[in-house]
Amino acid sequence: MTMRVTKGQLCEIVGRDERTISRWQNSGMPVLEVGLGRGNENEYDTQAVIEWLVQIAQQRGEKESVRDRLDRIKGDREELALAKDLEEVVVAADLIDRFEAMITAAKVELLNTLPDNLASELSARYGVEVDDQLIREPIEAILRKMADYDPDDDAPSDGDHDQPGDSLAAEEDCD
């Protein structure tokens, strides 16, 4: 699809700065209309420019000049900074910190608050004394198992019934 655009618009389309566009123009990139005088911009046919870029890339064997690579890296860096500012991406370290804080809070709640509260609730509801250790021990066992989790371990998960070799899934198939 052909579009008539200014240099600034072309920069956005091809992801390069104005200096690069000027350099490409000096190297033979097609210009639809040369703006003469102050305030008159050059205009470009996007289809012709893209075809020229493809032709140049084929001639170079897909090699990128040092200057073009630097311009591309600068553009990528600016795009990433903008995406961070717009909160469209997150930094992995920040995500890990938040995740670890959530896990720590959950562990504290599971180990300290839940056993006491559940034991009290069960004792009050059923009129029997419930030892909070009966609740705490299975929670501790589960947390120990979670602490030993290895994401690179290829063993099937006990909870994923779609995995081959899962004994529960095999029992269900037999029934």
Burial (CB < 10 A; 0-12, 13-18, 19+), residue 48, is middle
Q: What is the pLDDT of residue 121?
A: 93
Task: Report residue 96 as tokens.
Answer: 């890990």
Burial (CB < 10 A; 0-12, 13-18, 19+), residue 21, is buried
Task: Report residue 133 as tokens.
Answer: 């250790």
C-alpha 113/C-alpha 161 separation (Å) is: 32
For residue 151, give the DSSP letter: T
Rounded to 5 degrees, φ, ψ at 142 are: -65, -45
Q: What is the pLDDT of residue 170?
A: 46
- Tokens 């290829």 belong to which residue? 154
For residue 40, give the DSSP letter: P
**What is the pTM for the complete model shown?**
0.39
C-alpha 16/C-alpha 50 separation (Å) is: 13
Q: Could you report the per-residue pLDDT of 59-105, keeping only the tens digit for each?
A: 776 567 788 888 889 989 998 888 888 888 888 888 899 999 999 99
- What is the mean pLDDT, run by run of 10 residues, along the chain of 175 residues? 84 90 91 76 90 84 75 89 87 88 92 92 92 92 88 63 49 48
Percentage of the chain modeled with pLDDT above 70: 83
